[in-house]
C-alpha cells in the first residue's frame, strides 16, 4: 500500500491505496505532523511525497476530498475502494452508507434495513466503527435513534462527527456526547 498526506482547507488528511483502490483514509488533522503518523501505521504503507506520483483514481479521490473540504456537495461513489477481506455484512453496510448524499443522515437501524439486515442496528454501528475509509464511506452520516448523534470511532470522537455534520449542513437535535476515539 502507498499513502499520501495532503493539505485541504479543513487540515491535513491522508489517503492509502493499492492496485485495487482506496483502502484507508485519515480525517483531517490540524498539522501535517499530526496526520503523518496515522498514515505511517497503515500496514506495509510507503509514503508518496508528490501528488503528481499518484494513480488517476487516487488523484480523483484527492480532488473530491478537497472539494468536500471547501463545502462542495460531492459524491465519492465513483472512487474505487479496496474492501478485500471484508465480510458481506460490512460490504452491504458500507454500500448503504455510501448511497447517502451530502448532508443526509439516517439512523443505524434504517441503514441496517436499507442494507438488507433489518433489526441489526447495533451490528451496523459496530461495522461502521471499524470503517477504514471514513468520509469516503460516510459513516459520520449515521446517527442514533431519537435524535442523538451516536458514536464515532475516528480521532476526535463525536466532536469530529458533529463538525462533519455541521460542515455538511446536516441538522440534528442531538448533543455531541464524549466518546473515546480509536485509531484506524
| Catalytic choice (14, 121, 139, 176) | 139
Query: How confident is the model at residue 148, as a pLDDT?
Result: 86
What cell was used for 121?
442496528
d(CA 25, CA 21) in angstroms, rounded, equals 12
Query: How confident is the model at residue 175, as a pLDDT?
Result: 53
The ranges of the chain with pLDDT < 50 are 172-173, 178-184
Residues 33 and 63 in one domain: yes
Q: 72-101 as b/e, with b when 16 or more CB fall inside 10 Å?
A: eebebeebebbbeebeebbebbbbbbbebe
How many domains are contained in the chain?
2
78 domain-assigned: no
d(CA 167, CA 163) in angstroms, rounded, equals 6
Residues 58 and 99 in one domain: no
180 domain-assigned: no
173 domain-assigned: no
139 a catalytic residue:
yes
23: buried, middle or exposed (CB in 10 Å: 19+, 13-18, 0-12)? buried
**pLDDT, tens only, 85-95:** 999 999 999 99
Q: Helix or strand or coil: residue 81?
A: strand
75 domain-assigned: no
Q: Helix or strand or coil: residue 135?
A: coil
Amino acid at each position: 500500500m502507498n499513502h499520501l498526506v495532503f493539505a485541504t482547507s479543513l487540515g491535513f488528511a491522508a489517503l492509502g491505496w493499492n492496485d485495487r483502490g482506496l483502502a484507508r483514509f485519515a480525517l483531517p488533522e490540524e498539522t501535517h505532523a499530526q496526520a503523518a503518523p496515522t498514515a505511517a501505521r497503515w500496514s506495509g504503507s510507503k509514503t508518496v511525497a508528490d501528488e503528481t506520483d499518484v494513480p488517476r483514481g487516487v488523484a480523483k479521490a484527492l480532488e473530491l476530498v478537497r472539494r468536500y473540504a471547501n463545502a462542495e456537495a460531492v459524491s465519492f461513489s465513483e472512487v474505487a475502494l479496496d474492501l478485500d477481506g471484508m465480510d458481506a455484512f460490512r460490504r452491504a453496510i458500507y454500500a448503504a452508507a455510501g448511497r447517502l448524499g451530502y448532508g443526509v443522515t439516517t439512523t443505524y437501524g434504517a441503514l441496517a434495513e436499507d442494507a438488507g439486515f433489518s433489526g441489526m442496528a447495533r451490528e451496523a454501528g459496530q461495522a461502521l466503527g471499524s470503517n477504514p475509509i471514513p468520509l469516503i464511506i460516510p459513516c459520520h452520516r449515521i446517527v442514533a435513534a431519537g435524535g442523538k448523534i451516536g458514536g464515532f470511532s475516528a480521532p476526535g470522537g463525536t466532536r469530529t462527527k458533529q463538525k462533519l455534520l455541521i460542515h455538511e449542513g446536516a441538522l440534528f437535535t442531538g448533543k455531541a456526547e464524549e466518546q473515546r476515539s480509536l485509531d484506524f
